Amino acid sequence: MLSVVKKSIGQAIFLVGYEKDSTIRTKQFDIEKALVPLLNGPSVNTNLPDDFNPQAPRVTIGNEPVSAHFSQVAAQLTINIDNTNRKPIETIKDSITKKVALFQDCLDKIISRDQQRERGLVLTVRYSIDPAKYSDENVVDYIQSKFFKINSMGIPASAGFNVGYKTVDNLFITLTIEHYKIISGEIALMHQGEWIDITKFPVVDSGIGLKIDVNSRPLLDNANHIDNVTNVILKKSFDFILNEADVFIGIKQ
> Which whole-number Å values give the CA distances from 61 to 46, 77, 105, in the listed order?
11, 10, 16
On the question of pLDDT at 200 being above 80, the answer is: no
Judge whether 26 lies within some domain. Answer: no
At 218 the three-state DSSP class reads helix
pLDDT of residue 203: 72
Judge whether 34 lies within some domain. Answer: no
Distance CA 14, CA 105 (A): 13
Average pLDDT over residues 228-240: 94
Residue 2 · residue 249 · CB < 8 Å? yes
Judge whether 245 lies within some domain. Answer: yes
Judge whether 63 lies within some domain. Answer: no
Q: What percent of the chain has pLDDT over 90?
A: 67
Per residue in 124-182, pLDDT (tens digit) is: 999 998 888 888 899 999 999 999 888 888 888 898 999 999 999 999 999 999 998 88
Instruction: List all residues 6 or more positions away from 166 whose beta carbon is below 8 Å from its beta carbon.
Output: 172, 218
Judge whether 128 lies within some domain. Answer: yes
Its pTM stands at 0.90
Give the strands of the sheet with 172-183, arranged side by side. Answer: 43-45, 59-63, 66-70, 74-80, 7-18, 116-128, 203-215, 172-183, 160-166
pLDDT of residue 185: 65
CB atoms within 10 A of CB 219: 20
* Structural domain span for residue 83: 4-19+73-249
Mean pLDDT of the chain: 90
Judge whether 43 lies within some domain. Answer: no
Average pLDDT over residues 229-253: 93
Report H helices in the chain.
Answer: 28-34, 89-108, 136-147, 229-243, 245-249
Q: How many domains does the chain have?
A: 1
At 235 the three-state DSSP class reads helix
Nearest to 76 by CA among 128, 118, 138, 131: 118
Judge whether 31 lies within some domain. Answer: no
Distance CA 22, CA 56 (A): 12
Per residue in 107-119, pLDDT (tens digit) is: 999 999 989 999 9
Judge whether 100 lies within some domain. Answer: yes
Per residue in 69-83, pLDDT (tens digit) is: 999 999 999 999 987
